[in-house]
Homo-oligomer: A and B are copies of this chain.
Amino acid sequence: MQTNDSPANSCCDRDHGTPDTYNDTVRSPISADGRPVLATTYVVPARHARAVKLDARQIIRITNTHGTQVCDLWVFNRNDLNEYFSIEHTRGKITRVNPAVGDVLLTNRRRPILRFDADTSSGIHDTLIGACDVGRYVSLGFEGYHDNCADNLRQALLAIGLRARAVPQPLNLWMNIPVSTEGLLSFQPTVSKPDDFVEFTASMDCVVVMSACPMDLNGINGKKPVDVHFEVREIN
């Protein structure tokens, strides 16, 4: 195996941008280049993902149509996919575990990328648990192919001609991971309602990726994974 011993050879080793597995996400972009028709509702089908390009100051609304679905959310600088929303850089600024309405999400270069503008749910989201991936399902005893958020992210980007090296920690919308006073975590169903939505305004030109999490081996998505929806509009 090639090692990363120098800048010269470190740049082309295997990174985290290539899917391990594929589903229809890679063949189903919202448009060839990921640009949305404004004020149009798009579906993120259950177990799949979509990527959408936002210009700075455009607004995205993501709707938990059935109220029971976790949506993994990533945001990348559209002109440099090595820069992306980073919760650990954001926390130092917001001094809170999870972001809430009014907060500005920062990138791993500590620059604003999204502003959290609205949330009709009770504000229960997760930033502690990494995206599910092939290894997560293996560790849970699943055999064979399983849709997963990490590959959904990779495919959604590839579907619009983009590729990121990293699978950053997502903002897991509506994912309900209570933390006890002892720091213990548990995986619980969402507490959101049908048609709850969140809205964000882009602080820079960016690409937003949403995965309707396919986890069905614990209760986080209720009885089964279902669709979520989104739309993009200009600032009012």
Interface residues of A (CB under 8 A from B): 1, 3-7, 10-18, 78-82, 86, 88-89, 91-93, 95-98, 108-111, 128-130, 133, 135-136, 138-139, 161-167, 169, 179, 181, 183-186
Contact = CB atoms under 8 A, between A and B. Distances in A.
Contacts of A86: 130
Nearest to A76: B4
Contacts of A12: 11-12
Contacts of A11: 11-12, 15, 165
Contacts of A89: 130, 135
Given A81-B4, A110-B136, A91 B185 contact: yes
Given A12-B12, A16-B108, A88-B169, 20 more contacts: A3-B78, A3-B80, A3-B81, A4-B80, A4-B165, A5-B161, A5-B163, A6-B161, A6-B163, A13-B80, A86-B130, A88-B128, A96-B185, A97-B128, A97-B185, A98-B183, A108-B167, A111-B135, A179-B179, A179-B183
A101 to B, nearest CB: 14
Nearest to A33: B5
B79 A3 contact: yes
A76 to B, nearest CB: 9
Contacts of A1: 79-80
Given A12-B12, A15-B82, A185 B95 contact: yes
Nearest to A18: B7
B96 A183 contact: yes
Contacts of A7: 17-18, 163
Contact of A110 (B10, B15, B97, B135): B135
Nearest to A138: B110
A45 B128 CA distance: 32
A97 B162 contact: no
A14 B109 CA distance: 12
A107 to B, nearest CB: 10
B92 A130 contact: yes
